Amino acid sequence: MPPLTITENAPLAHYTTLGVGGPARHLVEAVSEEQALEALDRASSEGWPVFILGSGSNVLFADAGFPGLVLRIATRGIVAGDSNRLTAAAGEEWDAFVRLSVRRELAGIECLSGIPGTVGATPIQNVGAYGEEVGDTIRSVRVLDRKDGTIRDLSNPDCGFRYRSSVFCTSERERYVILAVTFELEPEGLPSVTYPDLESFFSGRAAPPSPWEVRQAVLLIRQSKGMLLDPTDPESRTAGSFFKNPVISEETLRDTEAAARRLGLLAESQGLPGFKTAAGDYKIPAAWLIERTGIKKGFSTGHVSISSRHALAIVTRPGGTAAEVLEFAQQVRGRVQSVFGIALELEPVCVGF
């Protein structure tokens, strides 16, 4: 095993897509599970706090940085089980994994094409888009339990997947290091085309599209919304959606509609956009709420703005700080709260605030 390299005072802005944040006191990029374990042992013997990092596409580090060890999981390897199972090491690039599955005509994650990040991070917030979530196809998650140092497999129900949530970011936050994820996909299965953008893309077609065609459609749609990372695009300094879509009760929905009508933001005949969840609640597009408060795409303060193509994405410019990003997000949140009475939840993980 190659010796562990520990970088001191590593600038975290280089390791996140938002491009802001101070230094990590210590940083290790683990290319094997053994290295990850060794780094964790070292942190524990030195008493360093630990933060596990993937590609940094959903993290906002504070300007003061992180005072302990940032352990970046950079393990590689994909193993095919029986015909429909694929297991990927946590450090594998998510979109490359989706491309491989689609090439093999396995359906189930094609709508999740183009999402940045690592495979190991996808269970954390139950990554989802265009009608699919990883929790629909994850069979098991191989984890290192930091409580007792054991390595074991968690089943799908153990992960407690919900909309943009799982045990990994709620009840068991920071307990597990995800080492690998096994997906059970559908050989020659029909891809999911339930999301309005995709339905309209394929409208008028007699034959259902293949997973590969759905992947291409999703990539085009994401590109039009600035939701594909592109180093030549200044709006790629982003963590994607900064706010989750609120899930509210029917009573709150009625109150919110009444408030919106009083303010002339909704016609008498109109209801709020969104849909009823299986649990009987309502999922409302946060982008609609934000734009109705008067915050438009491209709205900007200092080095931070709302993307010109996506009302949920906060974008930074060189010279921006993490404090500016958080302040800007709180400003947007405050406007939605005061107009609609709905508290938007931040999607990225904020560290060190």
Ligand X SMILES: Cc1cc2nc3c(=O)[nH]c(=O)nc-3n(C[C@H](O)[C@H](O)[C@H](O)COP(=O)(O)OP(=O)(O)OC[C@H]3O[C@@H](n4cnc5c(N)ncnc54)[C@H](O)[C@@H]3O)c2cc1C
- Give catalytic status of residue 173 as yes or no: no
CA angle 176, 113, 272 (to 5 degrees): 90
Please classify residue 29 by burial: count the beta carbons closer than 10 Å to its beta carbon, then call 0-12 exposed, 13-18 middle and 19+ buried. Answer: buried
Among 70, 111, 127, 332, binds ligand X (CB under 6 A): 127
> How are strands ordered across the β-sheet holding 282-283?
247-248, 282-283, 275-276
Among 19, 117, 160, 191, binds ligand X (CB under 6 A): 117
Measured from the CB of residue 23, what is the shortest distance to ligand X in angstroms? 16
- Minimum gap (Å) between residue 140 Cβ and ligand X: 14
Provide the minimum distance between the beta carbon of 73 and ligand X in the complex, in angstroms, as a whole number.
Answer: 4
Question: For 259-311, where are the E strands, in sequence order?
Answer: 275-276, 282-283, 300-301, 304-306
Asked if 177 touches ligand X (CB under 6 A), the answer is: yes
Q: Which of the residues 66 through 95 are near ligand X (CB under 6 A)? A: 73, 90
The answer to the question of residue 240 lying near ligand X (CB under 6 A) is yes
By CB under 6 A, residue 129 contacts ligand X: yes
Distance CA 183, CA 91 (A): 15
Q: How far is the CB of 56 from ligand X (least distance, A)?
A: 4
- With respect to ligand X, which residue has the nearer C-beta, 217 or 339? 217
Which residue in 25, 72, 164, 237 is the catalytic one? 164
Which residue among 28, 98, 115, 221 contacts ligand X (CB under 6 A)? 115
Stretch that binds ligand X, among 76-84, 185-193, 211-219, 237-245 (CB under 6 A): 237-245
Applying the rule CB under 6 A, the residues between 290 and 329 that interact with ligand X are: none
Token pair recorded at residue 50: 């630990």
Residues 6 or more apart from 133 whose CB is under 8 A from it? 126, 127, 161, 163
Closest CA to 238 of 347, 96, 95: 347
Distance CA 331, CA 31 (A): 40
Report the largest interatomic distance among the alpha carbons of the chain, rounded to a whole angstrom: 68
Of all helices (H) and strands (E), which one includes residue 272? Answer: none
Catalytic residue among 241, 305, 307, 324: 241
Chain contacts with ligand X (rule: CB under 6 A) = 17, 51-59, 73, 90, 115-118, 120-122, 124-125, 127-129, 177-178, 227, 229, 238-240, 349
Residues involved in catalysis:
164, 241, 347
